[in-house]
Amino acid sequence: MTAPRPKDGRLIILGIETSCDETAAAVVERDADGKGRIVSNVVRSQLAEHRAYGGVVPEIAARAHVSCLDHIIKAALDEAGLGLESMDGIAATAGPGLIGGVLVGLVTAKALVLVTGKPLIAVNHLEAHALTPGLTDRLRPPYLLLLVSGGHTQLVAVEGIGHYRRYGTTIDDALGEAFDKTAKLLHLDYPGGPAVAAEARLGDAARFSFPRPMLGREGCHFSFSGLKTAVRLAAQDVQPLQPGDVADICAAFEVAVCDTVADRVNHAMARFCAEHPGLTDAALVISGGVAANVALRARLAETAAARGFRLLAPPVALCTDNAAMVAWCGAERLALGLRDPLNTPARARWPLDAEAEPAPYAGAKA
């Protein structure tokens, strides 16, 4: 048994994340004044299970979550030195994501809620990414968020907890997906992002001239499928591929990505400034797995500075999928008195901004 905690407006939340290929649980504390602290943070990645397929296989992901989630939750509680009775709420990702995995986490949270009588907080995974800088840097809205992961590429104005305006999304591939597909095409390791980035450091970006999709277009939407095709054609042209060719293609790909993303972010910053006149301390937050990309970070730091924004990137472990962000989002919502009923559904799709206009020609990835 653990000692009873003083009730001074602090919230201690258990978070559960299972929406993609990380099984994660964490305990996070939120002070009455809104300061956050990670008490424990356990992540089990399923990279090994999916590597042979070069991408996440939903059925394998769901099974892997089932087989280890209870151990991961126990590990998070043990690391925190706290029992379930010490939690003020239980937060789980309820979407968007791979539905099998989301169900595993949400149903587990509901079972814990039924047993303990604690409040359930059904967390939107995108909102959890969006609010992470509140936990890491005490950043308060409004701010501009670039979320770039294997499943998402979005520019979002974070106006307040529960209030988001989606400025842009991808009309085809997510940025992380573009990295992963490029890696696969060049027979690099999985996941592709780090492998492409490592090759890019060795290559000559000037050797190939790849398209910069959407560059200069109005608005803030993204597109990466044309770039992917250009990479494929370049790779076909120089068969058999030598290591130097791979490095040069990766370097040219990464520069094209940086140019495109910087252009989209520039448009978003202009809109954000127009919508927030008089804001003196504007911030651009970059999150999601691709936020680990050093070249992209460097480029965005320049792009942001040129418009008087400061660039903020949570530590990589909190940019990629984790449960501390879910627990924190749960704490922020519970602090506002928000909680969810036990019949809350798991959702494969769950836009942050339900009012956002659909992107032109957009496929399934909103």
**Which residues make up the interface to ligand KG4 (CB under 6 A)?**
20, 149-151, 176, 179-180, 191-194, 197, 288-290, 292-293, 320-321
Round to whole Å and give the CA distance between 327 and 145.
Answer: 19
Per the CB < 8 A criterion, the answer to whether 143 and 284 are in contact is yes
The amino acid occupying position 31 is: D
Round to whole Å and give the CA distance between 121 and 108.
Answer: 13
Q: Which among Zn ion, ligand KG4, none contacts residue 290 (Cβ within 5 to 8 A by kind)?
A: ligand KG4
* Residue (of 113, 71, 85) closest to 4 by Cα position: 85
Q: Which among Zn ion, ligand KG4, none contacts residue 292 (Cβ within 5 to 8 A by kind)?
A: ligand KG4
CB nearer to ligand KG4: pick between 113 and 290: 290
* Token pair of 208 as six digits: 């190939």
Residues with Cβ within 8 Å of 81's Cβ and at least 6 positions away in sequence, in order, are 2
For the CB of residue 261, give the shortest distance to ligand KG4 in the complex, in Å.
11
Residue with tokens 């070249």: 295
CB nearer to Zn ion: pick between 119 and 191: 191
For the CB of residue 196, give the shortest distance to ligand KG4 in the complex, in Å.
6
For the CB of residue 129, give the shortest distance to Zn ion in the complex, in Å.
6
Instruction: Return the ∠ at Cα 72 (arms to 70 and 75), rounded to 5°.
Output: 110
* Token pair of 149 as six digits: 């992961």
Residues with Cβ within 8 Å of 218's Cβ and at least 6 positions away in sequence, in order, are 267
For the CB of residue 319, give the shortest distance to ligand KG4 in the complex, in Å.
7
Q: Which among Zn ion, ligand KG4, none contacts residue 197 (Cβ within 5 to 8 A by kind)?
A: ligand KG4
For the CB of residue 21, give the shortest distance to ligand KG4 in the complex, in Å.
7
Q: Which of 40, 41, 149, 169 binds Zn ion (CB under 5 A)?
A: 149
The amino acid occupying position 5 is: R
Q: Which among ligand KG4, Zn ion, none contacts residue 203 (Cβ within 5 to 8 A by kind)?
A: none
- By CB under 5 A, the count of residues binding Zn ion is 2
Binding residues for Zn ion (CB under 5 A): 149, 321
